[in-house]
């Protein structure tokens, strides 16, 4: 009687243990690889944050459809809203690192936010990819080793391009600067001064404005008095719109060559009709003839997001394009590392060879000392035409 009751119990325990083993093995293998994103998902730049999200999402969907990474592990996007606030960005980074255990963090829009996060990611050996913020010092930081990589514009390269473009397009010889008063503005002031010095030139004036300024007439008046024949503008959506509106109040029609801040949100709505006269840098346009990757990405975006009917609806394009290529390159780094361990992934970025991306075909895009994948030849110049971001000279 006792023996008879004991046997089924043993069998039950063995069966339960076997079931647990069989159940846990595949679940361990299927554990997702988390990809973190910290960006502005609210406020005036929310449109850009959403563009980055979409670029990452279609790339992740494509990778997962091909079987994921590291033996079948699917990628999973975990987002946090930094509200364009450096302190909130650091809190979000801590949460993604310590609680969510992400393998890579994508850092969103604002240079001040990214600059605040960089010391933390270097300290915690967390690979970081920038798909938007262009501050030179984000990737050229004091980290040794350096965990910050970027697929985006870089201030010092953009600044030289802004000068070349102003000279070629507007025959400008007396540039003035109107810059946001934060680390991004400081980064560009340094870069523009260096670009001017390389050509034996100087700015006729440098003026700063705050992110919440609603009148920039005093600063612009000083630049006009100094004889500026072109303005180099650096500021995100709202502040840049205030510059345009202040110029309207002054009746001063001067060419504006801008970093890409105006592309990040509701610029034409906020700036008014003369917003279309601002020429700004981009890394990609979905208008015009596309290559195979461009056609594939457009098709994926249309399928995933019903509101996207064509290139008009993929805006700002740089957020989508930089994030898509950045995610693909990060996946190659993880695959090359053979793990999600931070330092292995960092070294995995250096092992990437040739990759036919959306923006360009990359040939060993990263190496020690070179953490920026895009160079000056990868930029295009654009303006708003009928609320669409089009390459300069393309009106339809």
Q: Give the domain ranges of the chain.
A: 33-153+288-375, 156-282
Entry pTM: 0.84
pLDDT tier, 29 (very low <50, low <70, confident <90, very high otherwise): low
Task: Supply the pLDDT for residue 364.
Answer: 98
- In the predicted model, what is the mean pLDDT of the chain? 91
Share of the chain above pLDDT 90, in %: 80
* Average pLDDT, integer, range 165-180: 97
- Give the contacts of 267 (CB within 8 A, at least 6 positions apart): 237, 240, 241, 275, 278, 384
Is a pLDDT exceeding 60 seen at residue 238? yes
Domains 33-153+288-375 and 156-282 are alike in CATH topology? yes
pLDDT at residue 37 is higher than 80: yes
Q: Mean pLDDT, to the nearest integer, of 210-235? A: 96
**Positive/negative CA dihedral, 281, 205, 200, 169:** positive
Superfamily of domain 156-282, CATH level 4: Response regulator (3.40.50.2300)
Three-state DSSP state, 305:
coil
According to DSSP, residue 366 is labeled -
Superfamily of domain 33-153+288-375: Response regulator (3.40.50.2300)
- Asked if residues 105 and 122 have their Cβ atoms less than 8 Å apart, the reply is no
Q: What is the pLDDT of residue 13?
A: 44
């Amino acid at each position: 009687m006792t023996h008879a009751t004991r046997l089924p119990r043993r069998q039950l325990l063995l069966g339960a243990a076997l079931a647990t083993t069989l159940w846990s093995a595949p679940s361990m293998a299927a554990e997702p690889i988390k990809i973190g994103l910290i960006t502005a998902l609210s406020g005036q730049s929310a449109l850009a944050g959403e563009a980055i999200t979409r670029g990452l999402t279609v790339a992740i969907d494509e990778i997962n459809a091909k079987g994921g990474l590291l033996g079948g592990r699917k990628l999973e996007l975990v987002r946090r809203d930094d509200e364009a606030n450096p302190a909130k960005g650091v809190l979000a980074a801590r949460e993604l690192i310590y609680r969510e255990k992400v393998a890579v963090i994508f850092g969103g829009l604002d240079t001040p936010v990214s600059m605040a996060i960089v010391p933390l990611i270097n300290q915690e050996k967390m690979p970081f990819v920038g798909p938007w913020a262009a501050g030179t010092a984000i990737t050229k930081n004091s980290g040794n080793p350096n965990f910050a990589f970027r697929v985006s514009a870089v201030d010092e390269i953009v600044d030289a391009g802004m000068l070349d473009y102003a000279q070629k397009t507007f025959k400008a010889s007396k540039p003035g600067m109107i810059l946001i008063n934060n680390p991004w503005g400081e980064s560009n002031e340094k870069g523009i001064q260096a670009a001017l010095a390389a050509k034996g030139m100087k700015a006729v004036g440098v003026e700063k404005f705050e992110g919440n300024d609603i009148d920039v007439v005093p600063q612009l008046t000083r630049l006009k008095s100094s004889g500026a024949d072109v303005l180099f503008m650096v500021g995100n959506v709202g502040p840049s719109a205030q510059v345009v509106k202040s110029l309207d109040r002054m009746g001063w029609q001067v060419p504006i060559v801008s970093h890409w801040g105006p592309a990040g949100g509701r610029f034409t709505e906020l700036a008014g009709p003369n917003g279309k006269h601002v020429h700004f840098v981009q890394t990609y346009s979905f208008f015009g003839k596309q290559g195979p990757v461009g056609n594939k990405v457009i098709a994926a975006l249309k399928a995933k997001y019903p509101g996207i009917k064509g290139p008009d609806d993929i805006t700002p394009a740089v957020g989508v394009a930089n994030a898509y290529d950045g995610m693909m390159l990060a996946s190659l780094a993880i695959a090359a590392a053979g793990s999600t361990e931070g330092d292995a992934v960092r070294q995995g970025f250096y092992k990437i060879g040739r990759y036919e991306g959306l923006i360009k075909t990359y040939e060993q895009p990263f190496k020690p000392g070179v953490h920026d994948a895009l160079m000056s030849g990868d930029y295009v110049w654009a303006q708003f035409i009928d609320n669409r971001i089009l390459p300069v000279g393309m009106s339809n």
